[in-house]
Structure 1
Amino acid sequence: MASPEDPGHDEWPTRSRELFLTDLWSLLIDEDARVDGHPSWIESWFRGTPSDGVPDHPTAAALHRLLASGADVDDLTDVVRTMQYEIVYNVCQLLDDPALLGIRTGRDPEQAEPGWELIAVRTAPPPDRRPLKELHSSLAEHDPSGRGGEPRGRPVPALLPGRPPHVRLAVAQARAGDRLAAIRTWRGATGATPAEAKAAIDSLMAQAQD
Structure 2
Amino acid sequence: MTQHEDPQPEGWPVRAHESFVNALWSLVLDEDRYTDDQPEWIEAWLRGHQQGSVPDRGVPAALHRILACGVDPEDLTDVVRAVQHDVVYQVCQLIDDPGLLGIGLDEDDSGGTEFGWELVAFRAERPAERAPINYLHSVLDEHDPSGRGGEPRGRPIPVRLPGHPLHARLAVAHALAGDRIQALQTWRKATGAPLGEAKAALDLLLDQLRQNPESTP
State the identity %.
Answer: 55
Whose RCO is larger (CA < 8 A, sep 6+)? Answer: 1
CA deviations over 1:136-162 (Å, ceiling 9, x no partner): 101000111111111111111111233
Residue segments in structure 2 that go unaligned for 5+ positions in a row: 212-217
Native 8 Å contact 1:96 1:134 kept in 2: yes
User: Is 1:62 aligned to 2:75, yes or no?
Assistant: no
**One-letter amino acid of the counterpart of residue 6, structure 1:** E
The C-alpha deviation readout for 1:50-99, integer Å capped at 9, x for no partner, is 22111234211111111111111111111111110000000000001110
- Check the 8 A contact 1:7/1:125 in 2, yes or no: no
Q: Does 1:52 align with 2:43?
A: no
Which residue does 1:206 correspond to in 2?
A: 207
Matches within 5 A, 1:56-205: 56-104=56-104, 110-125=111-126, 127-205=128-206
Question: In terms of mean alpha carbon deviation, does 109-118 or 127-136 score higher?
Answer: 109-118
- 1:157-189 CA distance string (max 9 Å, x none): 111233322111111001111111011111111
Distance 2:159 2:146 in 1: 25
Matches of 2:75 and 2:12 in 1, distance apart?
39
Give distance in 1, aligned partners of 2:20 and 2:149.
16
2:12 is matched with 12
Give the TM-score, by structure 1 length.
0.91
Which amino acid in 2 is paired with 1:67? L
CA distance in 1, matches of 2:82, 2:34: 18
The number of aligned residues is 208
Contact 1:7 1:126 in 2 (8 A): no
Letter in 1 for 2:36: D
Tell me if the contact between 1:70 and 1:165 (Cα under 8 Å) persists in the aligned partners.
Answer: no
Moved more, 100-109 or 182-191: 100-109
Return the letter of the residue paired with 2:100: L
Give the distance between the partners of 2:49 and 2:207, measured in 1 at CA: 39
What is the distance in 1 between the residues matched to 2:82 and 2:152? 6
**Partner Cα distance (1:6, 1:126) in 2:** 15
1:101-159 CA-partner distances (Å, limit 9, x unpaired)? 01128968833333121000123348311111111101000111111111111111111
Secondary structure at 2:29 match in 1: coil
| AA aligned opposite 1:135 | L
State the distance in 1 between where 2:96 and 2:107 align.
17
Deviation at 1:48, TM superposition (A): 1.4
What is the identity, as a one-letter code, of the residue corresponding to 2:143? H
What is the RMSD computed on CA atoms of the aligned residues? 2.3
CA distance in 2, matches of 1:105, 1:25: 27
Q: Which runs of 5+ in 1 are unaligned?
A: none
- The alignment's TM-score, normalised by the length of structure 2, stands at 0.88
Cα deviation for residue 209 of structure 1 reads: 1.9
